[in-house]
Amino acid sequence: MLSRRDFLRRGGAGLASLGLAGMGEGLAGWLSEARGAPASPGSNRPADGGSIVTILHTNDVHSRIDPFPEDGSRNAGKAGAARRAALIESIRAENPHTLLVDAGDVFQGTPYFNLFRGELDFKVMSALGYDAMTIGNHDFDGGLDGLTQAARFAKFDLLSANYDFSGTPLGARVKPYVVRQVGTTRVGLFGIGVELEGLVSEKLWPGVGCADPVPITETIVPKLRHEEGCALVICLSHRGYKGYAGQPGDQDLAQGIAGIDLIVGGHSHTFLEEPERFPHGGRETLVFQVGWGGIYLGRVDFHLSPTGEVTEARAAALEVTSERRERASA
Mean pLDDT for the chain? Answer: 88
Could you tell me if 292 and 62 are in contact, meaning their C-beta atoms sit under 8 angstroms apart?
yes
Could you tell me if 235 and 192 are in contact, meaning their C-beta atoms sit under 8 angstroms apart?
yes
- Confidence (pLDDT) at 3: 46
Mean pLDDT over 61-69 rounds to 97
- 3-class state of residue 278 by DSSP: strand
- Confidence (pLDDT) at 281: 87
Q: How confident is the model at residue 47 (pLDDT cuts 50, 70, 90)?
A: low
- Confidence (pLDDT) at 314: 97
**Of 212 and 49, more confident:** 212
Q: Which residues contact 53 (CB under 8 A, 6 or more apart)?
A: 97, 98, 99, 182, 183, 185, 187, 232, 301, 302, 304
Share of the chain above pLDDT 70, in %: 83
Q: How confident is the model at residue 91 (pLDDT cuts 50, 70, 90)?
A: very high
Mean pLDDT over 149-166 rounds to 98
CA distance 222 to 228: 9
DSSP letters for 171-188: TTTEESEEEEEETTEEEE
Q: How confident is the model at residue 22 (pLDDT cuts 50, 70, 90)?
A: very low
- Confidence (pLDDT) at 146: 98
Q: Which residues contact 316 (CB under 8 A, 6 or more apart)?
A: 41, 274, 298, 299, 326, 327, 328, 329
Closest to 148 in 3D by CA, of 111, 178, 174, 115: 174
Residue 64 has pLDDT above 60, yes or no: yes
* Residue type at position 327: R
Mean pLDDT over 132-150 rounds to 98
Residue 131 has pLDDT above 60, yes or no: yes
Global pTM reads 0.88
Provide CATH code, domain 4-328: 3.60.21.10
- 3-class state of residue 225 by DSSP: helix
